Structure 1
Amino acid sequence: MNPNKTNKPCVYITTSKGRGVVYIGVTSNLSERIWKHKHGVTEGIVKKYRVNQLVHYEWFDTMEEATSRELELRHWERAWKNQLVTSRNPYWKDLSHELW
């Protein structure tokens, strides 16, 4: 992946091992944010439940578009979120390797 692309606005979904917790976030630097998730730098739910497996991400042209999508996804039922991830990543593999 082009390293410059990881500096675009993005909505991402991470999960804990076993898919117990699903976290939706927005960032302008996906590589850095996922590094923080993986190294326990991010406090709160991410650190507490080790929500560090990147399973879905979507790029946007503006942060406003990304933030709007994040809010939309946060209001979805869990089953819909699961279907979104499964439709693009059927085995829920960690996609973080695509960033480096």
Structure 2
Amino acid sequence: MTGFVYILANKRNGTLYAGVTSDLEGRMHDHRNGLTPGFATKYGCDRLVWLERRPNIVLAIRREKSLKDYKRAWKLDLIAKLNPNWDDLTDSIHVIDNPYKPKAGSRWSELYE
């Protein structure tokens, strides 16, 4: 089952929230309608500004944990590379090319072929 790692914002360069799910469309519905109490709802983070597909939820969870270790400036740069205008990507979930590409020959590359 595919996993998604994502970053939400409340506005351009605003508050950021990193999350993980196997159903990004459903999760965005929950975020948009305040159905998930917590940080994202409290701070109005409902704009999908960055996402990454992983081949399974375990790898997605690992990636989310690593994202949370990085400083804000690194996350802003990550967003700028995929989405320089900070557009809401919710309607583009299935058409955005996955930005994560492991190096050829690495132990992860076979999962993404």
TM-score of the two chains, using structure 1 as the length reference: 0.88
Q: Runs ≥4 in structure 1, deviation > 3 angstroms?
A: none
Q: 1:47, CA displacement in angstroms?
A: 1.2
Q: Distance in 2 between matches of 1:89 and 1:64?
A: 25
Q: Specify which of 50, 74, 77 is matched with residue 68 of structure 2.
A: 74
Q: Distance in 2 between matches of 1:89 and 1:18?
A: 11
- Can you give the 5+ residue segments of structure 2 that lack an aligned partner in the other structure? 95-113
- Can you give the 5+ residue segments of structure 1 that lack an aligned partner in the other structure? 1-6
| Cα deviations by residue, 1:1-40 (Å, 9 ceiling, x for unpaired) | xxxxxx7211000001243210000000000001111111
| Cα deviations by residue, 1:40-73 (Å, 9 ceiling, x for unpaired) | 1110111111100000110111111101100110
Q: What is the aligned partner in structure 1 of residue 81 from structure 2?
A: 87
- Higher relative CO (Cα under 8 Å, sequence separation at least 6) belongs to 1
Return the letter of the residue paired with 2:38: G
Higher share in helix: 1
Structure number with greater Rg is 2
Match of 2:6, SS state, is strand
Match of 2:45, SS state, is coil
TM-score of the two chains, using structure 2 as the length reference: 0.78
Return the letter of the residue paired with 1:97: D
CA RMSD of aligned residues (A): 1.4
Match of 1:50, SS state, is coil
Return the letter of the residue paired with 1:34: M
> Identity across aligned pairs (percent)?
37
Q: Distance in 1 between matches of 2:83 and 2:93?
A: 16
